[in-house]
């Protein structure tokens, strides 16, 4: 007896999800990939993006419940941040969309791991 259409769809979605899980953290396409910096454990990834335990992990570890979107590098303009750099320091400016404000917990964890890094998030609510 052939599998029903919903069963085939579930299987296809499952296979696609497994492929996506296998690729997470390996792509260089995103200049600020939270998963590459603070990886989501495989057992949490397998739960899927809407599972309450997965959302809880993301909130506790990253401070946002989704990966960053529309991440792009920006030219460091003549801003206060660029004017206050000490000799030998450089600035790297990014823009991104985040589901729940900034990924503040991820930034805090990265600052602990790399004390030389400084994060100066500047939220913008402008529509682009």
State pLDDT tens for residues 68-109: 888 888 877 655 556 677 888 888 888 888 888 889 999 999
Domain with 32 in it: 5-113
On whether residue 123 sits in a domain, the answer given is no
Mean predicted confidence (pLDDT) in 2-16: 71
On whether residue 119 sits in a domain, the answer given is no
On whether residue 118 sits in a domain, the answer given is no
Say if CB 94 and CB 32 are below 8 A apart. Answer: yes
Q: Is the pLDDT of residue 2 over 60?
A: no
On whether residue 23 sits in a domain, the answer given is yes
C-alpha count within 13 angstroms, C-beta hemisphere, residue 33: 13
Mean predicted confidence (pLDDT) in 22-45: 80
Phi, psi of 93 (to 5 degrees): -110, 130
Question: From the CB of residue 103, how many other CB atoms can be counted at a distance below 10 Å?
Answer: 27
On whether residue 77 sits in a domain, the answer given is yes
On whether residue 126 sits in a domain, the answer given is no
Domain count, the chain: 1
Say if CB 64 and CB 103 are below 8 A apart. Answer: yes
For 93, residues 6+ apart whose C-beta sits below 8 A from its C-beta are 73, 74, 75, 76, 77, 81
On whether residue 124 sits in a domain, the answer given is no
On whether residue 35 sits in a domain, the answer given is yes
């Amino acid at each position: 007896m052939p599998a029903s259409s919903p069963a085939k769809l579930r299987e296809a979605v499952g296979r696609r999800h497994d492929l996506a899980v296998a690729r997470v953290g390996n792509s260089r396409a995103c200049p600020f990939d939270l998963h590459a910096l603070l990886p989501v454990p495989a057992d949490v990834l397998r739960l899927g993006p809407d599972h309450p335990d997965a959302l809880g992990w993301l909130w506790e570890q990253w401070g946002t419940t989704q990966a960053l979107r529309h991440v792009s590098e920006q030219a460091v303009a003549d801003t206060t941040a660029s004017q206050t750099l000490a000799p030998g320091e450089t600035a790297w400016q990014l823009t991104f969309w985040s589901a729940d404000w900034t990924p503040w917990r991820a930034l805090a964890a990265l600052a602990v791991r790399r004390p030389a890094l400084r994060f100066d998030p500047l939220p913008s609510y402008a529509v682009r």
